[in-house]
């Protein structure tokens, strides 16, 4: 099972944690532009990293994450800069509720156009594409996420479900069922994200216990999940590494 990492804040101290990783891995690097991503990537020299994925983040005023409520000009800017490239990219599909709820009003007129813009990008992008989505909620609620433009079934995208046990208290049987359902529907394109082992943009996320990390990884491996992504690299320490190494 491949164990990889998100890094929302690719600073020098956070990126230095790469030295702790002794297995083949991938890095999902947040950046405000493709140019910035390439600069960050060029400074990382580590033979264990098999793939770098561009994770576009926006200004707070634009929505920070990607959704049909994101400022339209920001969506166009991100998608246009990727035209003619095959850079691996991850769209973090989340609503602007905690960062800029005013966008629900200012972008309401653009909702359907933005949703179609995102869908067309995902469908036609020639490079590898990943979609980070809200945690598993069952098939019925997934349809609601699809309506909101936060879940897309285009066939070519890798679907990442963010199941952060330190933030949400999932029932064990529910998670197992949802992982099995996701794998049945998307095959090896269904990935799971675990965490958090360091805080994100919210700055107040609880941290994942060692015992819970071990349980999460065990369930993923037994379910046959191809890749587990950990949020985030900067929180890596030797104790977390020892557990991850057993499952990688």
| 187 pLDDT above the threshold of 90 | yes
Contacts within 8 Å (CB) and 24+ apart, 177-185: 178/136, 178/138, 179/136, 179/219, 179/220, 179/223, 179/225, 180/223, 181/139, 182/136, 183/223, 183/224, 183/225
Residue 212, pLDDT score: 95
> With bands split at pLDDT 50, 70 and 90, how would you rate the model's confidence at 57?
very high
| Listed range (43-52, 164-173, 183-192) with the worst mean pLDDT | 164-173
- From the list 61, 26, 75, the residue with the least C-alpha distance to 227 is 26
> Strand, coil or helix: what is 105?
helix
Q: Averaged over 180-195, what is the pLDDT?
A: 94
> With bands split at pLDDT 50, 70 and 90, how would you rate the model's confidence at 166?
confident
| 140 pLDDT above the threshold of 90 | no
| 170 pLDDT above the threshold of 80 | yes
> Strand, coil or helix: what is 168?
coil
Question: What backbone phi and psi angles, to 5 degrees, belong to 142?
Answer: -65, -35
Pairing of strands 158-162, 190-195: parallel
| 219 pLDDT above the threshold of 90 | yes
> With bands split at pLDDT 50, 70 and 90, how would you rate the model's confidence at 33?
very high
- For the chain, what percentages of helix, strand and coil (3-state, to nearest 5) are there? 45, 20, 40
Residue 163, pLDDT score: 92
CA–CA gap between residue 132 and residue 28 (Å, rounded): 11
Burial status of residue 20 (CB atoms within 10 A of its CB: 0-12, 13-18, 19 or more) = middle
| 14 pLDDT above the threshold of 80 | yes
> With bands split at pLDDT 50, 70 and 90, how would you rate the model's confidence at 171?
confident
């Amino acid at each position: 099972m491949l164990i990889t990492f998100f890094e929302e804040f690719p600073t020098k101290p956070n990126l230095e944690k790469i030295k702790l990783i002794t297995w083949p891995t991938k890095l999902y690097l947040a950046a405000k532009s493709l140019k910035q991503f390439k600069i960050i990537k060029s400074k990382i020299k580590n033979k264990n990293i098999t793939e770098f994925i561009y994770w576009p983040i926006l200004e707070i005023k634009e929505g920070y994450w990607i959704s049909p409520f994101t400022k339209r000009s920001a969506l166009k800017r991100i998608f246009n800069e990727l035209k003619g490239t095959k850079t691996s990219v991850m769209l973090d599909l989340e609503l602007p509720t905690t960062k800029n709820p005013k966008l629900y009003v200012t972008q309401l007129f653009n909702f359907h156009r933005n949703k179609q813009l995102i869908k067309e990008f995902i469908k036609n992008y020639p490079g590898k594409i990943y979609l980070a989505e809200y945690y598993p909620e069952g098939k019925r609620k997934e349809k609601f996420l699809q309506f909101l433009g936060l879940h897309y079934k285009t066939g070519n995208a890798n679907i990442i479900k963010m199941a952060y046990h330190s933030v949400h208290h999932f029932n064990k049987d529910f998670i197992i069922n949802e992982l099995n359902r996701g794998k049945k529907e998307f095959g090896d394109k269904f990935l799971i994200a675990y965490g958090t082992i360091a805080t994100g943009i919210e700055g107040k996320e609880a941290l994942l216990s060692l015992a819970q990390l071990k349980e999460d990884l065990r369930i993923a491996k037994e379910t046959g999940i191809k890749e587990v992504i950990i949020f985030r690299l900067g929180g890596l320490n030797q104790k977390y590494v020892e557990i991850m190494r057993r499952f990688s």
